[in-house]
Amino acid sequence: MLKVGLTGGIGAGKSEVSRLLVSYGAVLIDADLIAREVVAPGTPGLAAVVEAFGPGILAPDGTLDRPKLGSIVFADAERRAELNAIVHPLVGARSAELEAQAGPDAVVIHDVPLLAENRLAPLYDLVVVVEAAPETQLDRLVRLRGMTESDARARMAAQATRAERRAIADLVIDNDGPREALELQVRKVWAELTERVSR
């Protein structure tokens, strides 16, 4: 089994890269998806988050109001650390469970947005970083995700810098160009990963 950490700044196109890798045969463990699962209604995770941040972070239907919680934690590093201390261990445990279900010849892609920030590189056999220029990221966040420019900039600023991500990267995918260029790079990366797992 080859354990690959996949990361990149918000709006860099990491989700598209993971989708392509899955289409080539990778097993995907998506930390964002799991982070939603572990704070679903009725979970101990949600109870712990409500205890820390108060019932005001719940939507009327009892689910976590993610934008409301986001506005609190992206404006305050201490509160963000408090949230991470609740959610990250739960995500880690669930990720390990899913990984254990993959076969011995699997290429397991761990899609981890905050891999650099949380110093998780040592957990993986290799780290793949998806990169885009800050202006490309900003454009995608505003145009495709409907964020305000100030919200997009705040989220980008809360993440690791390009230099910090590059420092932990074994392979870098540049996603500033058209989709065809991205696909060519991802195919090359996939060839490299399958070669490593067969070794």
Q: Which CATH superfamily is domain 1-26+106-199 in?
A: P-loop containing nucleotide triphosphate hydrolases (3.40.50.300)
- Percent of the chain with pLDDT strictly greater than 70: 100
Task: Collect all residues with Cβ–Cβ distance below 8 Å to 134 and sequence separation of at least 6.
Answer: 9, 156, 162
Alpha helices in 27-76 (DSSP H): 31-37, 44-53, 66-73
Q: pLDDT tens across 26-73, in order? A: 999 998 899 999 999 999 999 999 999 999 999 999 999 998 998 899
Residue 93 clears pLDDT 90, i.e. is over it: yes
Which pLDDT belongs to residue 75? 83
pLDDT band at 182 (very low <50, low <70, confident <90, very high): very high
Mean pLDDT of the chain: 93
pLDDT band at 125 (very low <50, low <70, confident <90, very high): very high
Please give the Cα distance from 141 to 147 (Å, whole number).
6
Residue ranges per structural domain of the chain? 1-26+106-199, 36-103
Q: Are 94 and 136 in contact (CB under 8 A)?
A: no
pLDDT band at 87 (very low <50, low <70, confident <90, very high): very high
Which pLDDT belongs to residue 31? 86
Q: Are 49 and 63 in contact (CB under 8 A)?
A: no
**Of 190 and 154, which is predicted with more confidence?**
190
Please give the Cα distance from 187 to 16 (Å, whole number).
13
